[in-house]
Structure 1
Amino acid sequence: MYTVTLTKGVPDFSEGAVSFDEDGHLERGKTPTVMNPNDRFALEAALQTKVRHGGTAAVMSMGPPGYGEVLQEAMSSVYADELFLLSDREMAAADTWATSITLATGIERIAETREQPDLVFAGFKTADGETGHTGPQTCWCLDWPILTHVIALDIDETERTIRVKRLVEGDIEEIETVEAPLPAMIVTDPEFEPTYRKAEHRLTFKDLREETTERAESYEEHLTTWDHAELNLDPDYIGLDGSPTIVSGVDPIPKAPSEREATVVDPGDEAGMESVLDELLPYTNRAAAGGD
């Protein structure tokens, strides 16, 4: 099995230091970057596939050169064999449509230079855009089957099919089972949980973890970077020029206060401890129930 997991670096909103230019475009060079949280579920699904079926696990991202560290983190998570970074100035400021075109072309490039991927995994949505568009749009460009909100999956290598359980939300939450031929795109739900029921799978998991530690430390040796020319992409269809989305406005994210007021109470101070109890009492179930 050859799998590709799509991941992205997103602003570290917890730092409260997200920077935008005057046109409303995120200034990634001035903003701390972390791996998109929802991508971790996609990485777990790819790792489960590698443990159960073997083969090669690759991780791909589109972004600036600094995304190499995000890919290094992804390699540690999914015990990946190969990393791919799609990066140059022509790809900058892309919306989800231009991003999807670039990613799909990168996946096709893997098929040409490595082997045809069997599965591509993507997270549910990103923390910065939250559109949930990139996975489905990339799949549309590839013209593959897509299975979304996946919470569990099984692969039949002989029949070249994948069967998944997906979460359907409506008036009530339901789980449906869907089957599709390979290759296919899998968009994982945050409720995805990998399972390793067989002893051989748990042993493989342990071996892969030990093997990947050293590989992740020298991740640059396993990193392939492609620019738009190497992907044969027309600059008019990627990056900002290829993005039909228009940002009408951006609200700045306020920085969290560096200091907060606090009252220090010595445990030996009986009056002080009583004041603490008086503060907490209204929030207890006991108070709500009218207890003494």
Structure 2
Amino acid sequence: MNIVVLVKQVPDSGAERTLSASDNTVERGSANNVINEMDEYAIEEALKIKEAHGGEVTVLTMGPERATESIRKALSMGPDKAVHVQDDALHGSCAVATSKVLATALGTLNADLIICGAESTDGRVQVLPHMIAERLGIAALTGARKLTVDGAQLTAERQTDEGYEVVTAATPAVVSVWDTINEPRYPSFKGIMAAKKKPVQTLSLADLGVAADEVGAAGATSAVVEFAKRPVRTAGTKVVDEGEGGVQLVQYLVTEKFV
């Protein structure tokens, strides 16, 4: 089975993140950038399927040159090769443009199965799996907590607030996964060394036949108009109960429009 895993490099969610004052996009140049956490579960699931059914796993990333660091980290876990879509014109791309570029790249890879994280920790829009599937004209099994492969038949348990749904589809298909699906493996020293020699193909917009004005800030369908840092936390209002504490509390809640 030919499996492609979508991997995104994002600022570390454990560190402070901010937007760039120059164009209101996520500040990535000075951030500690890592693989999107949910994508590691997608990589692990792809490797498990390969180990059980054979085939090849390819990592696909869209991002600047520094995203190569995350590509090598992904390859050290076990995938066979990677494709890096890299072009300066991509900076500031919205989800719609991103789905167009990734779907175009996927069209050259003849994937039986496309796996990705259910969301990225920087955007958290959860729409790319659906958009990509729509552009490719294939099924989307989203939010999976369990995935079973039986030949060309896929069965997924889709995680919901109330429990889970069982959904099925035939390959080719897009599957997005949550962090409940498995436990990602740690790269071994051998895997880290092997990753340095694995092939990484770099593609530009010209290679994909996508016009520059269809992506980036110029082609974005949405944009951040303005932003402000979170206000500094101040001391709260203290209610001292001297017989009228309940009344004061209710008055405060009314003033703050909680009741």
For normalisation by structure 1, the TM-score amounts to 0.73
Post-superposition Cα deviations, 1:60-115, rounded to whole Å, max 9, x if no partner, equal 111001100101111123x10011110111111101111111111111122xxxxx
Which is further off, 99-108 or 240-249? 240-249
Q: Trace 1:140-179 onto structure 2 (pairs within 5 A).
A: 140-157=134-151, 160-169=152-161, 173-179=162-168
The CA distance in 1 between the partners of 2:189 and 2:50, in whole Å, is 15
Residue ranges of structure 2 left out of the alignment (5+ in a row): 233-259
Residue ranges of structure 1 left out of the alignment (5+ in a row): 111-115, 196-204, 256-292
Is the aligned partner of 1:233 residue 2:191? Answer: no
Residue 261 (structure 1) aligns with: none
Tell me how far 1:246 sits from its aligned partner.
2.0
149 and 17 in structure 1: CA distance in 2 versus 1, 3 angstrom threshold? closer
Residue 35 (structure 2) aligns with: 35
The CA distance in 1 between the partners of 2:59 and 2:89, in whole Å, is 21
152 and 15 in structure 1: CA distance in 2 versus 1, 3 angstrom threshold? closer
> What code does the residue aligned with 2:141 have?
L
Q: Trace 1:1-292 onto structure 2 (pairs within 5 A).
A: 1-16=1-16, 18=18, 20-77=20-77, 79-110=78-109, 116-157=110-151, 160-169=152-161, 173-193=162-182, 212-216=191-195, 218-219=196-197, 221-252=198-229
The CA distance in 1 between the partners of 2:181 and 2:216, in whole Å, is 32
CA contact (8 A) 1:9 1:67 kept: yes
Post-superposition Cα deviations, 1:159-205, rounded to whole Å, max 9, x if no partner, equal x2111122122xxx22222210100000102211269xxxxxxxxx9
Aligned residues: 232
The CA distance in 2 between the partners of 1:127 and 1:254, in whole Å, is 22
| SS of match in other structure, 1:130 | coil
> What code does the residue aligned with 2:102 have?
L
55 and 254 in structure 1: CA distance in 2 versus 1, 3 angstrom threshold? farther
Give the alignment's Cα RMSD to 1 decimal.
2.4
> What code does the residue aligned with 1:136 have?
H
56 and 210 in structure 1: CA distance in 2 versus 1, 3 angstrom threshold? farther
42 and 215 in structure 1: CA distance in 2 versus 1, 3 angstrom threshold? same
CA contact (8 A) 2:81 2:199 kept: yes
The CA distance in 1 between the partners of 2:63 and 2:182, in whole Å, is 28
Tell me how far 1:34 sits from its aligned partner.
1.1
Residue 279 (structure 1) aligns with: none
Tell me how far 1:223 sits from its aligned partner.
0.7
The CA distance in 1 between the partners of 2:144 and 2:76, in whole Å, is 23
Q: Identify, as 1 or 2, the structure richer in helix.
A: 1
Bigger Rg, structure 1 or 2: 1
The CA distance in 2 between the partners of 1:62 and 1:251, in whole Å, is 28
The CA distance in 2 between the partners of 1:18 and 1:93, in whole Å, is 15
For normalisation by structure 2, the TM-score amounts to 0.82
Percent of counterpart pairs with the same letter? 27
Tell me how far 1:215 sits from its aligned partner.
1.7
Tell me how far 1:13 sits from its aligned partner.
4.1
